[in-house]
């Protein structure tokens, strides 16, 4: 399951919903820069590293090798769940996942400030520098955290090297290697019982024919390779990233579920063609409670962009889509959908790869009538106002992919299941009148 926009599409709720049918839920990339909010029986859970499936006691949850783990943040999350009566006995952490260290956070914060008006909108949680060390082959992995002598040797060498950068490039105080070693040895003791060879665990579940849900963080347009570079994250949220980030072969993946809001939001910097910089944008923000789970930053809001929707379908091989927050549009007199872009007087139906060209994109809109009534109580497609149903059909037709789920609020029961994406029949890129028919 992947985000089909710039993240924040409501993946937490959809993961929670699909976890009812999953034996294993795997988080395969990102770090504490991501956040999923789930509302169950009026209680709100904010998760950053732990998969949303943890709310189901019999579901195994795996933090895969493609993630980067801040042990301090993970332990806080574990403690919070324990206070709420949620067991983490079925949480497993990949021994190959890389660890976010104090110098990663310090460098991330300092580097973003140095960028001035060229900021990329990082969460300043150390994610980019952690992935940079992974690529540079100087990173510390969870397995290193478990081996005291290896950990001491690595931290002593790395802190000495990073202190040169902190002091001379960013004018920051140096770190004390001994203090860092002591701190992270404490984290190791707390997490040790959860550490496994996650690739082996997942592949054993495959052989046992268990349902496995791979949970992406962020969204397609934030992908390091396929997103709106350089305003992207440091990993691969796209469907292909699930194989690398969890250690399974591509032939094991048999369905890709995309999640998209009924409008579009973006956090941080970067071009956003359909952004509404007026009262309508503020209205969407207020109605949709558009504030980041991780940072609390206000999200930029705009109309649905079918160009990036089609792009996400292509890049990920999306089989079906979950549309979230349809209810946020309930009060709108008219709703606009971006069907193409205009760049220097020319019409474009595909996403440009050039960041400068993308920044010049002007949306070409199709205007649709609103429905001006609440949809939050609807339990089936038949309950929806005709204008709302027409809107969904139009989105499906533009993206050329069926809509399997429609979310109408934060709670589990505010959801229309058009087709069960896990147990229903696969209809790759096929749709009938824009929405797949109900499956018994």
Q: Is 300 helix (H, G, I), strand (E, B) or coil?
A: strand
- Terminus-to-terminus CA distance in the chain, angstroms? 22
The catalytic position among 8, 16, 144, 223 is: 8
What six digits make up the tokens of 422?
């896990």
Cβ-Cβ contacts under 8 Å for 354 (sequence gap 6 or more): none
- The rounded distance, in Å, linking the Cα atoms of 257 and 420 is 11
Asked if 282 is an active-site residue, the reply is: no
CA-nearest of 434, 404, 407, 403 to 419 is: 404
Q: CB of 209 within 8 A of CB of 251?
A: no
CB neighbours of residue 46 within 10 Å: 13
CA-nearest of 37, 55, 23 to 423 is: 23
The catalytic position among 16, 23, 36, 48 is: 36
Q: CB of 126 within 8 A of CB of 95?
A: no
Residue with structure tokens 């990102």?
Answer: 30
Asked if 8 is an active-site residue, the reply is: yes
- The rounded distance, in Å, linking the Cα atoms of 166 and 172 is 5
CB neighbours of residue 229 within 10 Å: 17
Residues taking part in catalysis: 8, 36
């Amino acid at each position: 399951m992947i985000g089909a926009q710039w993240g924040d599409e409501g993946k937490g709720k959809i993961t929670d919903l699909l976890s009812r049918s999953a034996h294993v839920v795997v988080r395969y990339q990102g770090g504490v820069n991501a956040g999923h909010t789930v509302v169950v029986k009026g209680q709100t859970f904010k998760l950053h590293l732990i998969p949303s499936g943890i709310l189901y006691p019999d579901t195994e949850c795996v933090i895969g090798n493609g993630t980067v783990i801040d042990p301090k943040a993970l332990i806080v999350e574990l403690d919070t769940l324990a206070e709420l009566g949620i067991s983490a006995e079925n949480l497993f952490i990949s021994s190959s996942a890389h660890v976010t260290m104090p110098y990663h956070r310090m460098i991330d914060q300092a580097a973003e400030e140095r960028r001035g008006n060229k900021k990329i909108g990082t969460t300043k949680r150390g994610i980019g520098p952690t992935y940079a060390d992974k690529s540079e082959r100087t990173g510390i992995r969870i397995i290193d955290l478990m081996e005291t002598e290896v950990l001491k040797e690595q931290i002593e060498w790395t802190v000495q090297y990073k202190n040169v950068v902190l002091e001379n490039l960013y004018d920051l105080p140096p770190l004390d290697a001994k203090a860092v070693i002591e701190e992270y040895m404490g984290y190791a003791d707390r997490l040790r019982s959860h550490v496994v060879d996650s690739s082996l665990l997942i592949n054993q579940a495959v052989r046992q024919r268990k349902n496995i849900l791979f949970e992406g963080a962020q969204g397609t347009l934030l992908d390091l390779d396929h997103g709106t570079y350089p305003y992207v994250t440091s990993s691969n949220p796209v469907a292909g990233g699930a194989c690398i980030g969890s250690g399974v072969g591509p032939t094991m993946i048999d369905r890709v579920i995309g999640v998209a809001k009924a409008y579009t939001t973006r956090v941080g910097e970067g071009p956003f063609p359909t952004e509404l910089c007026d009262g309508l944008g503020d209205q969407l923000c207020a109605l949709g409670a558009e504030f980041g789970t991780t940072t609390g930053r206000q999200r930029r809001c705009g109309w649905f962009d079918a160009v990036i929707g089609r792009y996400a379908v292509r890049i990920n091989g999306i089989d079906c889509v979950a549309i979230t927050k349809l209810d946020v549009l309930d009060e709108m007199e008219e709703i606009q959908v971006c069907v193409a872009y205009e760049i220097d007087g020319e019409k474009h139906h595909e996403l440009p790869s050039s960041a400068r060209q993308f920044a010049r994109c002007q949306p070409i809109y199709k205007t649709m009538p609103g429905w001006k009534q609440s949809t939050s109580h609807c339990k089936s497609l038949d309950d929806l106002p005709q204008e709302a149903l027409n809107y969904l059909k139009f989105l499906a037709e533009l993206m050329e992919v069926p809509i399997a789920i429609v979310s109408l609020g934060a709670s589990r029961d505010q959801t229309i299941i058009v087709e069960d994406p896990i147990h229903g029949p696969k209809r790759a890129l096929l749709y009938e009148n824009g929405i797949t028919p109900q499956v018994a």
